[in-house]
Chain A
Amino acid sequence: MKKKLRDFIFQELIFVAEPGQFSDDDDLLEAGLDSMGIMRLIMFIENEYGVTLPDTEIEPSNVQSLNALEQWILRHKKG
């Protein structure tokens, strides 16, 4: 799952020098993910994984890093 998220984020949303060196805990917001990027990311996730991410959970802490994103998605995939 992280590979797919990674590809989408670094190919479509933000440009970083070496995506390979961007760790799963590095800060996506600092790297340039903005409100429009978050919106596109959420639409991508909902389509790709068939989950519905609740409106009230869209906040910086859940989109801060690849690990945070994955955990957020998994919480909703199970439930």
Chain B
Amino acid sequence: MPLLSAFKQRCLETPEAIALIEGQQQLSYQQLMQRIYQLSSCLAAVKIPRPRVVIALDRGIDATIAVFAVLGVDACYIPLDMKNPPHRLNYIINDAAPGCIIGKGACPDWLESPELWLDIGQADFAPSGSQILATANPESIAAILYTSGSTGTPKGVALSHRALANFANWAASTFTLSPLERIASLAPFHFDLSIFDLFSCLSCGATVNFMPASLTLSPSRLTAWLQEQRISVFYTVPSLLGFIALKGALKTTPLPDLKTVLFAGEVFPTPQLITLCELLPTVQFYNLYGPTETNVCCYWPIDRERLQPEQAIPIGYPACGALLEIDEKTGELRVQSANNLSGYWQQGKLGSALSADDFYNTGDKVSLNGQGEYCYHGRLDRMLKCSGYRVEPSEIEAVLLSCPEVANCAVIGIPDSTSGQRPAAVVVLKPGAKLETIVKPIKQGLPAYMQPSKIIALDALPYLSNGKTDYQALLYLLEKN
């Protein structure tokens, strides 16, 4: 089913049902559709020169309207992480080469291309136009999600209508979403978890409730919010669920409405998952796996009886109709799926990302267990997972090396029981330079989750006899210091 078909149908069939809630504000399906038509008629009037639109809004009602309005004029949406420093945002915007940037209010000073700015507030006064949302070619690009790139700069994962629809339809049926569902949405829109909230949930006529971000700092308030909002489905990262398991006051905060919890983005430490399962005895948990390039390609419905504290949970069975292969030599997982990306968007054009036989090579090492389930064994390259975000050490290294004071550097991940890994850096400073001079460039060049939590200065990097950086020695030095 095409990406927007079911959503359009819901707007006609249940116009009064609540589609979105954000704090005190809520919109019915009919009101949402009206706002989408208004914004898409603004976009049509602007005659955007290139079919790509950057969304410079935090997740929420406005950003949702923008996503659907952009798709409605047969363009693709590029959500920005507004917490990124301006330098990185401008990089992404220039790389994406959009025809328009939708934001709220006045154009911010840092934006290098102010002529592209469109204030979403203007759409409030727009006519609702032709009231038609385009039905795109399934192979048209619907979204470009920027992620950390191994070449030192962010890269855009370009996803087609076909890819988004394939996942959205699979998730809606696998998790039997009904119009009665109340879904908690926490994922920023540049994070692929949001595809579930936006497309699976709104296609089902359910209510998507945007959780206030501040709740992540206070797990007991978060669970109280889940209770009060009668949330039934929640898709998030293990590190947050682990925090809730340990400190979410769940013993005194029953969540009778919560029935499905999905998690992805990193490995869930099994002891914390066991605690959470005990505290939420009626919830069905699912472990979802897959890089942004394939979205979910493997899933495992948690079988409580098989959880052993010392044993990692499997990533399970093929999902979304994916065909999975394990490279015999390296153990690398290869994925062929209708979810697969169309390519990487870099420097204004689409480059190929799949092998000749249409597989995506994940760079993840996996194996099959005796029950025919896939199990994850880490990365074959240096990529890190930090609180669900993927981080390429080379992108951090590129920022460090851009500091005139830095002669050399290396970034590694320090294992962390709560957030997967944390980036840490070893730098070699030029003579006379001080470590504190590099702090400002780091803060300006990298989003918070990519900033090293620890930086030490050495006279030289340790090398192996083959001339490669000795990452084991670096880990030892960083953990010791």
Contacts and interface: CB of A to CB of B under 8 A. Distances in A.
Contact of B243 (A14, A15, A36, A60): A36
Given A15-B453, A18-B436, A58-B219, A40 B214 contact: no
Contact of A32 (B218, B451, B455): B451
Contacts of B221: 59
A52 B452 CA distance: 30
Place the interface of chain B in its size category.
Answer: 20 to 34
Contact of A35 (B216, B220, B451, B453): B216
Interface in B7-23: none
Interface string A12-42: 1111111000000000010010111011101
**A-side binding surface: helix, strand, loop or mixed?**
helix
B342 to A, nearest CB: 33
A55 B436 CA distance: 36
Given A15-B455, A17-B439, A40-B418, A32 B248 contact: no
Contact of B248 (A16, A38, A43, A55): A55
A11 interface: yes
A11 B454 contact: yes
B350 interface: no
B454 A12 contact: yes
Contact of B220 (A12, A16, A38, A58): A58
Contact of B217 (A14, A15, A38, A55): A38
A13 B240 CA distance: 16
Nearest to B239: A36
A51 B200 CA distance: 44
A55 B244 CA distance: 9
Contacts of A32: 448, 451
A62 to B, nearest CB: 9
B451 A55 contact: no
Contact of A14 (B218, B240, B242, B453): B453
A47 interface: no
A43 B453 CA distance: 18
Nearest to A63: B217
Interface of A: 11-18, 29, 32, 34-36, 38-40, 42-43, 55-56, 58-60, 63
Can you list the 5 inter-chain pairs with the closest CB atoms, starting with the nearest? Answer: A17-B436, A55-B249, A36-B419, A17-B439, A59-B218
5 contacts: A15-B442, A17-B435, A36-B239, A36-B387, A56-B220
